[in-house]
Structure 1
């Protein structure tokens, strides 16, 4: 009997110890550190509009300040009163973000953000020198007028990511390039537009044929507003002809069988015919941009020297930065503000036009998807002298020979380095993949 009582006592003691251990363990799992937060102050400098702030976990508000966790993104929306426009932004007194209506960054400290507005009746200050100009034509395109004096190439005076010439773009030292005025789409071609033209083009009466149908974004699971991907260079030039014929008539189609045989290219499965395509640049139809057109549009800043280098009179974004970024590729906040890439894309494409636009009003020139250019590729973009006139290279179209075609801009799958404006790459014209799409150009 005593033995049984002793056993019961020991069992009860053991159970008590186990319960105590569980309670202690449970207490430990509930211990959590308080996240670090910062006060973000914001206001309108001088009135004539409103400023709202929104952050992860915080509903959009006009009440300042807001308290934001470190590492979270805060986004500001400026809304001008009738008759006014955004004049500029400052963050802790430093000018940022140009005249954009939206401003966002990742919070790492307490800051003060201000926006100011000005009357629409006040003409913008004209830039000094011949820096070119641009105009939003209201049809989803930006009309771009490069400097009449051309762009005088130069070697960068700053550090590039990587070695060699692979990140030096096309405006090289010793090369003077003149570009005719052109229009470029504000965004990459969304699947919705691609599919609309594709469905029209493949009707028997219209006679177009494609090698690939294209998909919504990364793998077909995206929205119709995400860029089309999985389309080859051949698909793209044929699609541009179809888009032209649908909107402007077949006579304005750019891509022809040859300079002498002006048959409009309509079949992307005829590889040799497509690869030998002649681009009739006198036509006003839709087309792929040339590489020089693409790079100029990605880099143009006019007379704004922020994170830029001067080429003649015009300032161009530094080669080591994303398009529209105000700092080089090492500055994650700036790269994330303008590009969907490996660090912020969540491994997928995003609707075209969500990121901050560049100085010309173009979105996603860096990141989201790589973009086909018309040009044949050579590691040295200056080798083809067929476009030389009076000491200038006029509207160049790339290498005189070779099988591959140029791609530019980086994508959702790449690191920041691959999304800078100087990086050049290429694929064969029949290649297609889930991070490659297009942007459309045309003559004004």
Structure 2
């Protein structure tokens, strides 16, 4: 080979070597290429007579401002007033937010400045404007709920914020719809097996019939304080009648025969009569929630705008969050604080009332077990309505709230689900409602 040929061959080998080195650099060592996360500076301060602390994902709670937080992370502020003082108000970039609550939480999308102020307990609080509804713990295991007289004005959420694009993530308070709800009382917890069994045994001896006896929690191996499961929708309405008769007398029973409202339903095996049940809402007996009542109770926050959206005058928890949570379902700390679900349930149900309550003082509205509602499952129609009871007919009844067996996104307050009224499963129970 001549000198020119040897030179060309050498150059060729050098080129191949450089190419292989480049390939190794860009494809063989990807861990060396890092993308710096986008961060924002959040400044915060407290006025006289109190302190303010901030905590975010990956950042320990601190009073030192500012803190630097990654985009998309949640920051939670805790205001602590001195003795004899209370929170007066919050601002975020100079705009009033969060009312007089002690906690404030949001997802970071930009740099902001948060301030909280305090005032003496001797100063009468400023009267609120607008009717956002109210609630009262009646001391009997129930919360009396009074929705706003003007109703709940529907709106549609940002689809990108929901767990999915399907219609069933959007709840019942839709744009073009206004729902008015009468006052109602709601059990603080799901019905525990202990209460179910007590009424069930009384009912069997009084002529009632059930399709299922119910079990303690997941599979009967739990405690009597765990929610009853493995009961059908038909079992639930008959049991509600039995409980009413036991406590208030048969005349106050809600569920009656469609064609003869004097006949109280007492047989869960009478599928035709049960599925066509008439609900006499003028009575004061125990009953299932309507779906609209369930969602309102799961989402109500009054004037607290934390992780909420405004529906007319009232603020309701965002559709993508568990009931009582201060952030979306993918914020593990917040979801675990209010719900038993797949990631923290240890594959079982738990005694009712152990998790943090929502704004109304209700426990387990998300997680532990799904809850039967009275309504037939159907599409949500536009238009105004008072005390709606869902579709006129159907094949499946509504259930809401998610359960111990499910992922976090299935426990959000906007998620709608349904099941055949004859079915009974290990993660489905119910909660009691009644007229005040």
TM band (smaller chain) = 0.7 to 0.9
* Secondary structure class of the residue paired with 1:262: strand
CA distance in 1, matches of 2:204, 2:86: 45
Q: When the two structures are aligned, how many residues end up with a matched partner? A: 337
1:283-330: CA deviations, max 9, x gaps? 000000000000000000000000000000000000000000000011
* Secondary structure class of the residue paired with 1:184: strand
Deviation at 1:160, TM superposition (A): 0.7
Which shifted more, 259-268 or 331-340?
Answer: 259-268
Q: Which residue of 2 aligns with 1:394?
A: 386
Q: Which residue of 2 aligns with 1:56?
A: none
* Secondary structure class of the residue paired with 1:134: strand
* Secondary structure class of the residue paired with 1:243: helix
Q: Which residue of 1 aligns with 2:334?
A: 334
1:256-292: CA deviations, max 9, x gaps? 0125432000000111110000000000000000000
1:104-138: CA deviations, max 9, x gaps? xxxxxxxxxxxx9997x987764321100000000
CA distance in 2, matches of 1:231, 1:129: 42
* Secondary structure class of the residue paired with 1:333: helix
In the TM superposition, structure 1's runs of 4+ consecutive aligned residues that sit over 3 Å from their partners are 83-88, 94-100, 116-119, 121-127
CA distance in 1, matches of 2:119, 2:232: 45
CA distance in 2, matches of 1:246, 1:310: 41
1:65-84 matches, cutoff 5 A: none
What 5-or-longer segments of structure 2 have no aligned partner?
1-47, 51-82, 91-96, 104-117
Deviation at 1:85, TM superposition (A): 12
Deviation at 1:187, TM superposition (A): 0.2
Q: Which residue of 2 aligns with 1:308?
A: 308
1:230-379 matches, cutoff 5 A: 230-258=230-258, 260-378=260-378
CA distance in 1, matches of 2:425, 2:100: 33
CA distance in 2, matches of 1:214, 1:398: 26
Among 418, 423, 432, the residue aligned to 1:431: 423
Q: Which residue of 2 aligns with 1:403?
A: 395
CA distance in 1, matches of 2:188, 2:155: 28
Deviation at 1:244, TM superposition (A): 0.4
Structure 1 position 381 matched with structure 2 position 383 = no
1:82-231 matches, cutoff 5 A: 126-157=127-158, 159-203=161-205, 206-231=206-231
* Secondary structure class of the residue paired with 1:402: coil
Check the 8 A contact 1:127/1:302 in 2, yes or no.
no
Question: CA, structure 1 residues 146+95, in 2 after alignment: closer, same or farther (shift >3 Å)?
Answer: closer
Deviation at 1:168, TM superposition (A): 0.2
TM (norm. structure 1) is: 0.71
CA distance in 1, matches of 2:285, 2:393: 25
Question: CA, structure 1 residues 246+146, in 2 after alignment: closer, same or farther (shift >3 Å)?
Answer: same
CA distance in 2, matches of 1:122, 1:241: 49
Deviation at 1:233, TM superposition (A): 0.1
* Secondary structure class of the residue paired with 1:225: coil
Check the 8 A contact 2:258/2:278 in 1, yes or no.
yes
Check the 8 A contact 2:261/2:278 in 1, yes or no.
no
What 5-or-longer segments of structure 1 have no aligned partner?
1-44, 48-82, 101-115, 384-390
CA distance in 1, matches of 2:174, 2:365: 20
CA distance in 2, matches of 1:87, 1:252: 45
Check the 8 A contact 2:230/2:428 in 1, yes or no.
yes
* Secondary structure class of the residue paired with 1:197: helix
1:24-51: CA deviations, max 9, x gaps? xxxxxxxxxxxxxxxxxxxxx989xxxx
Question: CA, structure 1 residues 87+411, in 2 after alignment: closer, same or farther (shift >3 Å)?
Answer: farther
Check the 8 A contact 1:128/1:303 in 2, yes or no.
no
Question: CA, structure 1 residues 127+225, in 2 after alignment: closer, same or farther (shift >3 Å)?
Answer: farther
Deviation at 1:166, TM superposition (A): 1.3
* Secondary structure class of the residue paired with 1:342: coil
CA distance in 2, matches of 1:317, 1:377: 22
